[in-house]
Structure 1
């Protein structure tokens, strides 16, 4: 039977396990997809710890890990016009991504361009789409100066590159160890941690126009103080704190149109996905530990099938 990597209850790594899984049956508006690759994200571990996305219900256990996949359509449900068996697709799964088979709703599924490998398509629905949604929300004019905290992580890597593609000057904060990497993306690097506000001010003596936060905490509080207009502050890392400071959470579009657009941008060379490490499905635990540690560069992917 097909394998899936799950968490059996809320908790730490001790609640993770492989299970044999029946092949899901697609309902209306759903596609059965043979998973080729699944992106690994910090939210995967948060969900295991008991976090519930706003507007969502708690998971039924065992719950399959994974919020983004790429693969090929094996079967289609009613109301899935535009998709056919054999199509290469990517999107946000209904039934988890660390699995050999999953269900994708057509509302958040897009066709994979031929020039985009499955491994790269698998990391677009969460990190790249979040980066794109946030930048569209800020709607900065070319020449503006944007601070991106956590610029070396999965969302940050895409956000820096897309902002530069849109003509925005970027100051990217991260640990000192990621300095060369962040600068290679096109950002001015500023080390995170105590004193970050002074370092950003020195890097942008004419001021900053917006902040895209991906880390929350003290760094968010410090750089928010540099903004004359707090409505130009958005966060995907410390949403509640951002609102408390006068900003807002990143508003996710979560639709196929955005997925198609980020795929087009990736194929055009506007940004690279920077998949820095891959693991087989059998090593899903190691992949999740690598992301859960919080110090990865770029994206990590589980290769489910060659």
Structure 2
């Protein structure tokens, strides 16, 4: 159990609220899959953590991060490095680990081209930075309002919307080596033809469409959380927390993420 210092808000939260993922729990249901805080109690058999430890992790089944206290899953929790603030740490367990997994599923070499569809959100901005760490050529597709944010990561900005595939070809005439999709649907279908090999489409948002196109959904790794925490600790990647809400305004935080246009990462702080 932890005293929550900050909790990340992700698209899965509004999808649960909207009933898009079915209902497997009693109402009122807890929300928030990722949180950071201070350990107040440990479960039986847990030896890696002690009361007073600062940690970040995924909430245990039946618990949510949008609360003053919650329970984390010990196997999906790591120590919070001193160098990472609680707000930044709350962006790591879901968004950070997703960015790590989706950029490591297909192995690219330095100099190859990585396109990120939906590069301006929490996962997208971390994925662009990971791509730059690996010295990939990174193209970030996002709305024009996020141009500065995407370019701040060192990525080449591509405006989303009609004609996006043509704009990609203007800067990458031979196509791209990997598409990381964080949007899905028609936007993914429209951009897919620019990838050299359709099996190199990996989606976090719409695995069904990715598979129709020849690609796949993201595969979650066991080491992603620890690896991305380390990378953030060393200052190579920033979680880009751009909006912070109080617990009383958690509903507004979820609504902002639901628009699909939130720049950077949104967190709630009790």
* TM-score, structure 2 as length reference: 0.96
Cα distance, 1:227 vs structure 2: 2.0
Q: Does 1:269 align with 2:235?
A: yes
Cα separation, 2, equivalents of 1:249 and 1:239:
4
Q: Does 1:36 align with 2:5?
A: yes
Query: Residue 285 of structure 1 aligns with which residue?
Result: 251
1:130 aligned residue (71, 76, 98) = 98
Q: Spell out, residue by residue over 1:98-151, the C-alpha distance to the aligned partner (whole angstroms, 9 max, x if none).
A: 011111111100010111111110100111110100111022111110110000
2:17 aligned residue (39, 44, 48) = 48
Cα distance, 1:52 vs structure 2: 3.0
1:166 aligned residue (121, 130, 134) = 134
- Aligned counterparts, 1:171-182, within 5 A: 171-182=139-150
- Aligned counterparts, 1:1-306, within 5 A: 32-52=1-21, 58-94=24-60, 95-253=63-221, 255=222, 257-304=223-270
Q: Which runs of 5+ in 2 are unaligned?
A: none
Cα separation, 1, equivalents of 2:164 and 2:57:
36
Cα separation, 1, equivalents of 2:98 and 2:127:
8
SS in structure 2 at match of 1:207: coil
Question: Aligned pair count?
Answer: 268
Cα distance, 1:288 vs structure 2: 1.4
Cα separation, 1, equivalents of 2:169 and 2:117:
14
Q: Which runs of 4+ in 1 moved over 4 A?
A: none
SS in structure 1 at match of 2:125: helix
Query: Residue 15 of structure 1 aligns with which residue?
Result: none
Cα distance, 1:59 vs structure 2: 2.2
Cα separation, 2, equivalents of 1:180 and 1:73:
38
Cα separation, 2, equivalents of 1:206 and 1:226:
8
Cα separation, 2, equivalents of 1:286 and 1:48:
13
* TM-score, structure 1 as length reference: 0.85
Q: Spell out, residue by residue over 1:234-279, the C-alpha distance to the aligned partner (whole angstroms, 9 max, x if none).
A: 01122110011110001112x4x32221111011111111111111
Q: Which runs of 5+ in 1 are unaligned?
A: 1-31
Cα distance, 1:283 vs structure 2: 1.2
Q: Which of 1 and 2 has greater Rg? A: 1
Cα separation, 2, equivalents of 1:179 and 1:105:
37
SS in structure 2 at match of 1:60: coil
Cα distance, 1:78 vs structure 2: 1.0
